[in-house]
A and B are shown apart, each in its own frame.
Chain A
Amino acid sequence: MTIASERVATPAAERPFTPEWLGQVFSKGLLHVAVIGITLVWIVPTLGLLVSSFRPLDQFSSSGWWTALSPPFKFTLDNYTGVLDASNLGQSFFNSFMITIPATVIPVTIAAFAAYAFSWMKFWGRDMFFLALVGLLAVPLQATFVPILTTFVNLGLTPENVGFVGLWLVHTGYGLPFAIYLLANFFRALPTDLFESAEIDGAGTLTVFFRIVLPLSVPAIASLIIFQFLWIWNDYLVALVYVGGTPEVAPLTVTLANLVGSKGQDYQLLTAAAFFSMIVPLIVFFSLQRYFVRGILAGSVKG
């Protein structure tokens, strides 16, 4: 018995220096080489940008960024100070927060209200409305610009008059279908007993929502907040269409893209500006990655 089981536990390939063993070691090695190779290829573009942004101008234009990785190490912060002085990146950094925070808070809150109604209340046309939301996930935003721009101009909701408010409202409308979809899927999965026993205890709708549904949905809401935050922070098209390049209201992405036009010759400044624009998303990403991934999975696997 023991001998037989030992034989099973030690297949041929695990005995050293047999052809099978060599084959396995070789293919394992190949696997590691492939995985590490792919990773290197994938980080080279970002690494090149990061290294370049710290290189002095004379080096920057006369040699490739990889030469900076060998001695003598010559790095400088000149590109960062230079681009912050010569552009309104600082103002844009603030603007990005001013746009992103309300444009995350408003749709997530309104979506939570709606998702609660969609999952636990009965009303006329509920399933039809939900189906429409799923359909709207695919609609190109381009098909909404002309009428909204016209209405905003007529109502005086221009950046000159109301600052970021127009952009907050637009992002709320655009973000809601995904937000409701994600939250409703989560709310519906909460156990029915919870609601029944709360009702028996005489808890009102508000109590159930704030005391039961929201606390239990923290993971889903966290995913959604991070997702929406990064989405708005990185948005370019919507900001470009509704607020344009006006320095007082332009977010980082718009200012960065404008720099490509105005400072296209000073590439060393652009690398610093690009990295500057990536700082916040990278911090959010690396500290809260778990939630971000969960949001992406919830948003698409169930499709």
Chain B
Amino acid sequence: MDFSQLLADVPTLVAVIVGVPAVLAAYIVGGEYVVRLLPDKLRPSVRPWIWVGPALAFVGFFLVYPVFGTAYRSLFDLSGNSFVGLSNYVTQLSGFPSGGSWIAIRNNVFWLVFFTVLVLAFGLLFAVLTDRVSYESPIKSLIFMPMAISFVAIALIWKFMYSYQPPGEPQTGTVNALLGIFHQDPRLWVQDPNVANQALIVAAVWGFVGFAMVILSAALKGIPGDLLEAARVDGAGELTIFRRVIFPLMMPTIVVVGTTLVIFALKAFDVVYVMTNGNYDTDVLANRMYKLLTASQDFGDASAVAIILVAAVIPVLIFNLRQFRAVEARR
């Protein structure tokens, strides 16, 4: 490693750390100064735009405009020169069940169901179990830890967990070594189309359970103790209390966490890209879109796949907006 080159870059880093906030502060102070030059009556109607303007410009340019741009671009061929109508969508959605994007769509449905359900189930279980022990917080930080690292690292960790040596050789992967204890032959987890999807989903579940656990655990602590005490005095068993009291009260939080997980499952990319790159029947829409974008340089089809992804997210989006409106109405 060449440290001298890194040292040469340090001034750049310092300039950026000092310069960027300076520019932003200068903007808002300068903006406010300009507002004060205006006549009194105009100030309240101009001022908000100084404050909210940069944010709206960024969001407009990097999120709103591109979504429409992508929808428009999906109606053109790969180079963008000729209008092809819906034919990119026809290419992506023909050949059911194995042509076009169908393998990717099927796998996204897999992810949606198994990833979401498993993360919620484990998250809830861990939240309830850790709530009952005195050493709760160190345990929770260990389970939560994978949330802090990148999914590229998570993918590598699990590639290593699944690593394979031929039967008879000493296994170096934890999963196959465990199989060996039960006198089972080692499996090629990641390269076997029958189990590869499940293997990838397990890696992502491992990474995300901490997220669900932390939120659900906060909701669990919000349930008044008297309520549980009253149920216990009435002679309800712990399982009944969980089913009849805890679970219904936590339902709103479970739904909110669930929608976050659904969105993540639809956008799943890093784990798939690093572990299999979509081979062995594990392709997902986000990975397919990336391959069309880079390997095939086919911007038309890539845009069509992206819009399919947007269409899949729209129900969740509408649901989120309704939730938000309901919360606002209660304010």
Contact = CB atoms under 8 A, between A and B. Distances in A.
B256 A281 contact: no
Interface string A39-62: 100111110110010000000111
A147 interface: yes
Interface stretch (A191-199, A217-225, A295-303): A295-303
B48 A121 contact: yes
A113 B51 contact: yes
Interface in A162-212: 169-170, 172-174, 176-177, 180, 204-206, 209
Nearest to A107: B58
Nearest to A226: B148
A63 B172 CA distance: 6
Q: State which size class the interface on B falls in.
A: 35 or more
Interface string A259-293: 01000000100110010011001101110010011
The DSSP consensus for interface residues of chain B is helix
Contact of A241 (B59, B67, B290): B290
B28 interface: yes
B48 A123 contact: yes
Interface in A76-99: 84-85, 89-91, 94, 97-98
B153 A135 contact: no
Contacts, number: 315
B293 A146 contact: yes
Q: State which size class the interface on A falls in.
A: 35 or more
A139 B139 contact: no
A234 B156 contact: no
B270 interface: yes
Nearest to A104: B20
Contacts of B157: 45-46, 48-49, 274
A7 interface: no
B269 interface: yes
A293 B6 CA distance: 33
Contacts of A296: 147, 211, 214-215
B160 A52 contact: yes
B277 to A, nearest CB: 9
Nearest to A42: B143
Contact of A38 (B56, B129, B215, B323): B129
A204 B267 CA distance: 44
A44 B146 CA distance: 12
Nearest to A179: B55
A253 interface: yes
A169 B12 contact: no
Contact of A301 (B56, B219, B273, B321): B219
A237 B273 CA distance: 10
A300 B52 contact: no
A132 B63 CA distance: 11
B129 A31 contact: yes
Chain A to chain B: the 8 pairs with minimum beta-carbon distance, closest first: A173-B62, A147-B69, A114-B55, A285-B148, A144-B66, A234-B150, A123-B48, A90-B1
Given A94-B13, A170-B62, 16 more contacts: A35-B130, A42-B143, A45-B161, A45-B206, A62-B172, A114-B51, A117-B52, A134-B324, A138-B320, A143-B307, A144-B63, A169-B58, A237-B286, A253-B153, A293-B144, A296-B211
Interface of A: 31-32, 34-35, 38-39, 42-46, 48-49, 52, 60-66, 84-85, 89-91, 94, 97-98, 101-102, 105-107, 109-111, 113-114, 116-118, 121-123, 126, 129, 131-148, 150, 169-170, 172-174, 176-177, 180, 204-206, 209, 230, 233-237, 240-241, 252-253, 256-257, 260, 267, 270-271, 274, 277-278, 281-282, 284-286, 289, 292-293, 296-297, 300-303
26 contacts: A38-B126, A45-B174, A49-B157, A52-B160, A65-B174, A91-B5, A91-B6, A94-B13, A101-B17, A113-B52, A121-B52, A139-B310, A140-B313, A143-B66, A146-B303, A150-B299, A176-B59, A237-B269, A256-B152, A260-B156, A260-B159, A274-B153, A282-B149, A293-B214, A301-B218, A303-B320
Interface of B: 1-3, 5-6, 9, 12-13, 16-17, 20-21, 24, 28-29, 32, 36, 44-45, 47-49, 51-52, 54-56, 58-59, 61-67, 69-70, 73, 126, 129-130, 132-133, 139, 141-153, 156-161, 163, 170-174, 177, 206, 209, 211, 214-215, 218-219, 253, 256-257, 259-260, 263, 266-267, 269-270, 273-274, 285-286, 289-290, 293, 299, 302-303, 305-307, 309-310, 313, 316-317, 320-321, 323-325, 327
